Amino acid sequence: MDKIFYTLSILTIFTAIMVVASKHPIRSILYLVATFFLISAHYVLLNAQFLALVNVVVYAGAIMVLFLFVVMFLNLNKDIERFKSWIPAFAALISAGTLLMIFLSATRTSQLTIESAGSHDIGLVETIGEVLYRDYLFPMEICSVLFLVAMIGIVLLNRKEKVNTQNVMQP
């Protein structure tokens, strides 16, 4: 089964790189959708069924559609320069590379004691539902408030400002 894992991994990384390296924004968006699907496949491999579905629905279904809408409405498909000049790119490479090295070396040197202490069906919808509504009820309700706030913010942001040009009372 590790073959599946390796295939999926390489594909994921490939699509991620294509997101970064694509010329057109639309292509980047499409590659990103592919990446999301592949990550959902990883979730399925880990028996996180609920999250796999949610990932597809929320990310690939809602967020990416939002991106597509924005790009297509505002006609942002025009080509601007892809990458930055070489000094910031070099600095970015160095710093991001440093972080990668740190993570990888942490992987190598750390001793992980992952033990399976619980059941294996934690990814099932029923289990998640139980845990969510029993232990994490309050954060879930707060999330709804979060969405409300985000909606209000977006609506306010996109309001047209009225410009008062004359000091005349209009009936």
Partner 1 sequence: MNHIPEIIRTIPFTHYLVLCSCLFFVGLLGVLIRKNVIIVFMCIEILLNAVNLMMVAASAYRGDSAGQIMVLFTMAVAAAEVSVGLAIIVMMYKNLKTTNIDLFDQLKG
Partner 2 sequence: MSPEIILHLILWPPLLGFLINGIIGFKLPKWAVTTVACSMPLISFTGTVMAYSTMLNKAATVTLYTWFVGEGAAKVDFAFFIDNLTLLMLFVVNGVGSLIHVYSAGYMHDDKGFHRFFAYMNLFMFSMLLLVLGDNLIVLFAGWEGVGLCSFLLIGFWFENKEYNQAASKAFIMNRVGDLAFIIAIFMTIYTTGGVRFQDIKETLGEGVALNSFIMVVISVLFLIGVTGKSAQIPLFTWLPDAMAGPTPVSALIHAATMVTAGVYLVARLHFLFDTAPAVKTVIAITGCITAIVAASIALKQNDIKKILAYSTVSQLGYMVAALGVGAYTTAVFHLMTHAFFKALLFLGAGSVIHGLHGEQDIRKMGGLKNKMKWTYGVMLVGTLAIIGCPPLAGFFSKDEILAAVYANNFWFFLILAFASVFTAWYMLRMFFATFHGAYRGSEDSYHKIHESPWIMVIPLLALAVLSAIGGFAGLPEITDQSHKVFQLLNKSIEQPRFHVSHLFEYSLWGVTIVALLVIFYFTKRRYTNMDIRENDNEHFVIRLLKGKYFLDEAYAWLFVSPLKKAGSWFMNFFEFGVIDRLVHFPANFLQSGSYALRSLQSGKLSTYLLYSVVALACLLVLFMII
Binding site for partner 2 (CB under 8 A): 84, 88, 91-92, 95-96, 98-99, 102
CB contact at 8 A, 15 and 34: yes
Separation of alpha carbons 38 and 144, rounded Å: 28
Partner whose binding site includes residue 150, from partner 2, partner 1, none (CB under 5 to 8 Å by kind): partner 1
Q: Which residue, 134 or 165, is less far from partner 1 as judged by CB? A: 134
* 33 interacts with, out of partner 1, partner 2, none, CB within 5 to 8 A per kind: none
Secondary structure class of 119 (helix, strand, coil)? coil
Residue 55 interaction partner, one of partner 2, partner 1, none, beta carbon < 5-8 Å per kind? partner 1
Give the nearest distance from C-beta 165 to partner 1 in angstroms: 20
Count other C-beta atoms under 10 Å from residue 11's C-beta.
Answer: 15
Give Cα 29 distance to the centre of its chain.
Answer: 12
List the single partner that 9 binds among partner 2, partner 1, none, CB under 5 to 8 Å by kind: partner 1
Phi/psi region, residue 170 (left: phi>0; alpha: psi -120 to 50; beta: rest), is: beta
List the structure tokens of 141.
Answer: 């309700």
In whole angstroms, give the CA distance from residue 110 to residue 104: 10
Output the smallest distance, CB 110 to partner 2, in A: 11
Q: In terms of CB distance, is 47 or 95 closer to partner 2?
A: 95
Nearest CB to partner 1, comparing residues 149 and 162: 149
